[in-house]
Amino acid sequence: MSYFPQLAERFSELFASIANDRVLVLGHARPDGDCIGAQLGLVRLLRSEGVDAVAYNADPVPDALSFLMEETGIEKFSAEALDGSSLLFVDCADEGRIGPKSSKLIEGSNYLGNIDHHISNTNFAHFNLVEPTSAATCEIIAGLAFDFGWDVDPLTAQCLLTGIMTDTGRYSYAATTSRVFELSARLVDCGARPVTTAQSLYENEPMCRLELLQRFLATLTTRCDGKLGTGYVLHKDFLDTGAKYEHTEGFVDFTRSIEGVKIGVYFEEKKSTVKGSFRAESAAYRVDKLARQFGGGGHACAAAFSTDASLDEIQPRVFAAIEQRLAEVEQGIDV
Amino acid sequence: MSYFPQLAERFSELFASIANDRVLVLGHARPDGDCIGAQLGLVRLLRSEGVDAVAYNADPVPDALSFLMEETGIEKFSAEALDGSSLLFVDCADEGRIGPKSSKLIEGSNYLGNIDHHISNTNFAHFNLVEPTSAATCEIIAGLAFDFGWDVDPLTAQCLLTGIMTDTGRYSYAATTSRVFELSARLVDCGARPVTTAQSLYENEPMCRLELLQRFLATLTTRCDGKLGTGYVLHKDFLDTGAKYEHTEGFVDFTRSIEGVKIGVYFEEKKSTVKGSFRAESAAYRVDKLARQFGGGGHACAAAFSTDASLDEIQPRVFAAIEQRLAEVEQGIDV
């Protein structure tokens, strides 16, 4: 039983080419569960196969994911670390996703590998292992580890399961295939415990987050005959409640979850920028393309952008773009 | 590969004894996803094996679960239906769980089978297929169906997957074993789609529910040095928002999810009664025994009761009982 036969040859080549190198495993800025799980999981797997591997990220690991860091650290980017190392990107649709400062640092380096599941991946590295049918980058890494008979210890399994759980929305999104469940079963057999991830991520809520959630829920409304759901958090709300940016994880899902809503959009007012996040009921709405209109990107059903415009400026522009998209999809236009 | 070898012989005997009977598949009052999934799934499986089976429940099917009823109905209890039929209970810890009126109707009937995963099950029927290591009654039914090589069509698979998804809290509770994931993979291969269940149950929220949730979040507090989390919904809140009782599904989880909380308790004020629901961080807190002190029951980590006392009367009594339980567990007393 092979999970990713289509990636086997390229993975063999990638692995053969790094066997004697120092490898930096890079993930995207503002990392989520799939990114951290993939970075730590892959570093641990590579080390157990004798490769000198280290994980690097521009941003700190969210508190809720710190339980994965028991034995394996994630370093902050630095020019020294790069010297003579090979770069292996995980969960990054393009090399810029590691953050603007880090991107500058790696210019001219050896972009060796790229393991990812984003449909928008630009195949920017030498070995591109991109599989958009996967629900998570951790699914690809877990599948390859089992396909190659590598040793998956309990903490590695926990890292990979965490990526799968988070990027499937706890096994709820359309990409949740039988392969996702089969690999999860294998990871549990290797010692991963779903309850550990769930308790840290979903059942260990700081009271300030619940206060922020309450404020956010009060802003929820629908537009476009109930097909557009939207809500926001103001910079003031963070200050008033003491909540951090990472505490808004999942808020966007509420905008899409309202009965009848096809596209949800969540706005987050930060100190000097505004983040917009989209969720769609189905891939037909291609919210990755909507996000691209505002300088962002992502998946067909989940995408995001960041802007210097104010909340009052950006909202009507985004609503207009969504209204147009809703009409296009309703008319059967392929967007 | 056999999922439930320990139940095989008894299931064979049960099946042999009903082959020519009319079978009523009974579930508990105020049915949830595991109950409805088990009732419909088992009825469909039995019918495909040539058995004349019908599902009965005292209460209506929640709107969010109605997508499972496409082809198979659930009847309301009646004296006529019982005449000469064999009773097969699913997801019922005891025969009284089908509701007080229904319980009266079935007195003296043939309690033939009892398929359940509650640790508190009283083995009240002739053939008791009780497996507390299972996360869901639907897990047992799915496992037996595969063990016996029965045909699992797409809608049957969807029913069984729904029970597994809901009773594992979307694969988040401690009972989420590799068997749970393996069976889920098989059910997806049979045509079940996790996204269908998730969208109906978790991503199709009436606005009135979100308004109720916002009111509920405003009541959240902690006690006992932050180890007890609690919140409530008043009867007035239902009237003001237009939400129904079924819309509070999941509210109790917020009480337990607060950082540091060991036991959460949620109070729901109905027209003339108050419902109390417990959730515990681990089985050591045995909230089923706490619920029993107030006339209820359930699992070690999730239990509930209903009382005629007012909210103001019952709250301090429940808080005192929880405070004592927290102290006992802290002192290592086996409760």
User: What is the ipTM, given to two decimal places?
Assistant: 0.89
In this structure, CATH architecture of domain A5-202: Alpha-Beta Complex (3.90)
B282 contacts chain A (CB < 8 A): no
For residue A73, how many other CB atoms are within 10 A of its CB? 12
pLDDT tens across A211-269, in order? 999 999 999 999 999 999 999 999 999 999 999 998 998 899 999 999 999 999 999 99
Report CB contact under 8 Å: B176, A199.
no
Chosen from B178, B211, B282 to mutate, greatest number of chain A CBs within 10 A: B178
Q: What is the DSSP letter of B161?
A: H
Hey, what amino acid is at A118? H
Size of interface A-B (CB pairs under 8 A): 121
Please tell me the distance from the alpha carbon of residue B291 to that of residue B26, in angstroms, as a whole number: 24
pLDDT tens across B195-222, in order? 999 999 988 899 999 999 999 999 999 9
Instruction: Return contacts of B241-244, CB within 8 angstroms, 24+ apart.
Output: B241/B208, B241/B211, B241/B212, B241/B215, B242/B208, B243/B206, B243/B208, B243/B209, B243/B211, B243/B212
Q: Please tell me the predicted confidence (pLDDT) of residue B228.
A: 98
Phi, psi of B61 (to 5 degrees): -75, 130
Q: Which of A182, A202, A259 sits opposite B204 (nearest CB)?
A: A259
Res. A46: pLDDT tops 80:
yes
Which chain B residues touch A208 with a CB distance below 8 Å? none
Six-digit token pair at B138? 């639907």
pLDDT tens across B19-48, in order? 888 999 999 998 999 999 999 999 999 999
Report CB contact under 8 Å: A258, B207.
yes
- Contact residues, B window 115-174, toward A, CB-based 8 Å cutoff: 165, 169-174
Å from A211 to nearest chain B CA? 7
Cα B54 to chain centroid, rounded: 20
Q: Which residues of B81-98 are buried (b: 16+ CB within 10 A; e: fewer)?
A: ebeebbbbbbbbbbbebb
Å from A209 to nearest chain B CA? 9
Q: Which of B171, B202, B257 sits opposite A203 (nearest CB)?
A: B257
Please tell me the distance from the alpha carbon of residue A56 to that of residue A38, in angstroms, as a whole number: 12
Which chain A residues touch B203 with a CB distance below 8 Å? 172, 253, 256-257
For residue B179, how many other CB atoms are within 10 A of its CB? 19
For residue B99, how many other CB atoms are within 10 A of its CB? 18
Provide the edge-to-edge strand list for the sheet that holds B52-57. Answer: B74-76, B52-57, B22-26, B86-90, B110-116, B127-130
A185 contacts chain B (CB < 8 A): yes
A246 contacts chain B (CB < 8 A): no
Å from B109 to nearest chain A CA? 41
Q: Please tell me the predicted confidence (pLDDT) of residue B83.
A: 79
Asked if A257 and A220 count as a contact pair (C-beta separation under 8 A), the reply is no
Question: Hey, which CATH number is domain B209-330, 3.10.310.30, 3.90.550.10, 3.40.605.10, 3.30.1600.10?
Answer: 3.10.310.30
Res. B1: pLDDT tops 80:
no
Give the start-end residues of each E strand in B35-108.
52-57, 74-76, 86-90
Res. B119: pLDDT tops 90:
no
What DSSP element (H or E) covers A334? none
Domain residue extents for chain B: 5-202, 209-330
B223 contacts chain A (CB < 8 A): no
Give the start-end residues of each E strand in chain B.
22-26, 52-57, 74-76, 86-90, 110-116, 127-130, 221-223, 228-233, 263-269, 274-280, 297-298, 302-307
Q: Please tell me the predicted confidence (pLDDT) of residue B196.
A: 96
Could you tell me what percentage of chain A is helix, strand and coil, using 3-state DSSP and rounding each to the nearest 5?
A: 45, 20, 35
What DSSP element (H or E) covers A235? helix A235-241
CATH 3.40.50.11740 fits A208-330, yes or no: no
pLDDT band at B62 (very low <50, low <70, confident <90, very high): very high
Report CB contact under 8 Å: A172, B194.
yes
Q: Which residue of B has its CA nearest to A210?
A: B217
Res. B73: pLDDT tops 80:
yes
Report CB contact under 8 Å: B188, A176.
yes
A191 contacts chain B (CB < 8 A): no
pLDDT tens across A186-220, in order? 999 999 999 999 999 988 899 999 999 999 999 99
**What contacts B21, CB < 8 A, 6 or more positions away?**
B51, B52, B85, B86, B112
Six-digit token pair at A326? 């809703």
Q: Please tell me the predicted confidence (pLDDT) of residue B78.
A: 80
pLDDT tens across A150-184, in order? 999 999 999 999 999 999 999 998 899 999 999 99
